[in-house]
Every structure is written in structure tokens, then in C-alpha cells.
Copies of this chain bind each other. A is one copy, B any other.
Amino acid sequence: MDYNITAIDGGICAAAGFKAAGVHAGFRKNKQKLDLALIVADDVCSAAGVYTTNKVFAAPVGVTRAHLANGKARAVICNSGNANTCNTDGYDKANASCDMLAKALGIDADDIIVASTGVIGVPLPIEPIERGIPMLIDALDYGIEASNNAACAIMTTDTKKKEYAYELTVGGKTVHLGGICKGSGMIRPNMATMLCFITTDAAISSEMLQSALSEVIKDTFNMVSVDGDTSTNDMVTVMASGKAGNAQITADGEDFKAFKAGLAAICKRLAMSIASDGEGATKLLECRVRNFTDKDGARTLAKSVISSSLVKTAMFGADANWGRILCALGYAGVDIDTDKIDVKFKSSAGEILVCENGRGVDFSEEIAKSILVRRHLTIDVDMKSGDTDATAWGCDLSYEYVRINGDYRS
């Protein structure tokens, strides 16, 4: 089914009914770096969230989970530069942030999504929040620039801001979806895997919104791996303002399927942007596992390939070392027929078969190199044992990854 999903300009403000802002509040020393973001809906929205599965989770994750329990939200506040994790006063600070923002906006503190990202174990300073809230409210706006600023304010080691927007038709009305996200290190396919805030003007109940999100992340955010570390702070939230004017989606059906396709499109785009901007990455890697017996197995296999340090370094070096791909498929813990596996490398420069039926084939190293030096590589794995596919995204492992993480706090 083709839902005519179209990429459009803008981010979180592309959906009707959402203002945004980003300011430098003082979490970072560099005054040019925005470090506090705000998203505010005109009215209370249906809302849904998914969170890190790490047993060590940030205080704001705990607070947001409680706030979204009723499926309603109106605003998002998010700082970069400090994770507010493993601190004695973490919950106090996260709650205090919500209280201050609620008072300043005249809204209910329970309708606030709060998030933090940055270093773990350093107490969150509350002054930048106090100082930042009036600045944010002053800067709130419906325009593209406001979304840009919010997207910039949540960045940590990200080298590019990540914001995308899509439109599609749902129940005869044009519906918009916008999203910003951040994430570069501590990324693993286990749950939300970074911070992502999505807005939409679709009218949809909280239950159906949560259902759509929980299903969509399985093939998008959960299929991304940068370094195999599942962060303590991950979350993806969606707020739906209902301003598109479609008949509210309250059950499965054509409208729900269309909305879910739109949500999948923006989540996939945002997830790929995270993989492609992985810490130190020089290349976006995509692993397609095709024709497998079952979906979960296909996902596990694709993620195993994309997470292998040896595959990642080989791709960094443009080395067609396909044995490492078979090795990663073999230890994934999935029942596979190793004698059926075909492997191809693909990029904009062409494609080349390097392994057939689990055995090496003669191929031109020169042509392989010319394919592997490109910035977007696809590792195509044909399992020839079924009709189910899965795709995972990751990045290569470079010297720069080691540099960034060997000295993160300095």
C-alpha cells in the first residue's frame, strides 16, 4: 500500500499546533552552543513514549514515564550537557524543572516530558533551567527556525542536527509529522536508543498512538547500532495535536495503517540519520537480511552484522572481508543454514557478489574497493530460506570513534 508519504521542509513545527525554541542556558561553557530545548503544543495532546531498557536509567526517564502514563502531554523540555543519571538528587531536579516550566507556561506539570543527555554522574545544575525557561518562552515560535534551534539544543557529540518532516493523507486530510532527534554514541538496538521528539497534527487516541509507536520502533530505532552500548537516557516520544482535522483514529483500520506508515517513514529517516552520524562515522552501513524464515531472526541477524566491530572496521578500511559477515551471522544465536548464504556489497558505485552458498566466489578486489569507498554501503545478505526481510543501520568504526570516546569528559 502506497500512502503518498512525502518529505517536506521543517521539523517539529511542520505539524500544526506546535511551537519550539532552543537557547544557550549555561549547561555548556561554549556560549554558541544551544543547550536547552522546548516544544510546546497549543493544547494538551495525545502522547506516547518508549524508553531505555537499561536497568540504570536517568531520573528524567522515570519522571517522563510517570507523566505519560495517562497518555497526555503538552510540552517537552530537554537539556544537553548533563544526563542527570546516577545522581542522588536526580528526581528532585527533574521534578523541579517540570514545576518551574509548568508555572511559567500555566500548564500542568504532569503534562511535561522532561529529558536530559550528556555525562552521567555529575549533579544537574538547576540554575541553567531557571535562567533558560524565561528565555525559551520568549523565543517560542511556530517557524522552521524555532525547530532548528530545538534540534541544535539537544545535540551532544552529534555533528549534524537531525530534523525531518513528512506529510501524507489520513482519512481525507493532510497530516504532518515532524521530528528532531539526537544520538551519536551509546547507541544499541535494544530500545529507543537516543532522544527523539516527534510531533504530529493527526487526531489519534493515546492508545493507538502508543500502539503505533511501539510497533514502528521495532523496525526503525531498534535496528540502529553505533557502538553496542544501550544508553541510560534513551526515549522517543510522540505528541499528536489533532489539528489536521481528520476523524480521530481510535481503532485499527485504514486510517491507522496510513498514520503508522507515516510514523514509520519519519522514524526510519531519523534512525538512519543517527546511524550515519555515529561517533566518528565516515560511512552509513545498511545490512539487509532477505528471505529468512522469521522476522525476529532476520532482525537479529541484521543487527549482529551491523554491530560487529570487525565488520565495522573492515568497512572503514573499504576491505571486502566478507568472512567477518558470515562470522557475525554465525554467532547471532539464530538457527541458520550456513550453506545457503549469499552476500553482496552494494553502493552507488555498483554491486558485487562476494559469497555464494556460504563459500567465497572469485571477485575483483578492485571493483569491490570502488564500491566500498562510498559513504552509504549496503551489505545484502540473502538467506534463501524464507520470505521475511529485515534491515539494520549502523556505521563504520574509525580512529575518530576512539578519539571521541577516549577523552569524552575532558
Interface residues of A (CB under 8 A from B): 53-57, 83, 85-88, 119-123, 185-186, 188, 190, 227-232, 307-310, 313-314, 316-317, 319, 321-324, 326-331, 335-336, 338, 355, 358-360, 397-399, 401-410
Given pairs A185-B310, A229-B324, A402-B402, 4 additional interface contacts (CB within 8 A): A56-B327, A56-B329, A85-B323, A398-B402
CA A307 – CA B230 in complex, angstroms?
13
CA A319 – CA B229 in complex, angstroms?
17
CB distance from A325 to the nearest CB of B (A): 9
Closest to A313 in B: B405
Can you pick out 16 interface pairs between chain A and chain B where the beta carbons lie within 8 Å of each other? A55-B335, A120-B321, A121-B355, A122-B360, A227-B310, A228-B308, A228-B309, A229-B310, A229-B328, A313-B401, A314-B406, A319-B410, A397-B402, A398-B406, A399-B399, A401-B402
Closest to A327 in B: B232
CA A85 – CA B339 in complex, angstroms?
12
CB distance from A323 to the nearest CB of B (A): 2
Tell which of B88, B231, B314 touches A327, judged by Cβ atoms closer than 8 Å: B231
Q: Contact check, B399 vs A403: say whether CB atoms are below 8 A apart.
A: yes
A410: chain B residues at CB < 8 Å are 317, 319
Closest to A229 in B: B310
A229: chain B residues at CB < 8 Å are 308-310, 324, 327-328, 331
A317: chain B residues at CB < 8 Å are 405-408, 410
A409: chain B residues at CB < 8 Å are 319, 321
A123: chain B residues at CB < 8 Å are 360
CB distance from A121 to the nearest CB of B (A): 4
Q: Contact check, A316 vs B186: say whether CB atoms are below 8 A apart.
A: no
A405: chain B residues at CB < 8 Å are 309-310, 313-314, 317, 397
Contact (A327, B403) CB under 8 Å given A229-B310, A338-B55, A360-B121 = no
Q: Which 5 A-B pairs have the closest CB atoms?
A: A120-B323, A317-B406, A56-B330, A313-B405, A121-B360
CB distance from A396 to the nearest CB of B (A): 8
CB distance from A194 to the nearest CB of B (A): 14
Closest to A232 in B: B327
A331: chain B residues at CB < 8 Å are 53-56, 188, 190, 229-230
A358: chain B residues at CB < 8 Å are 56, 86
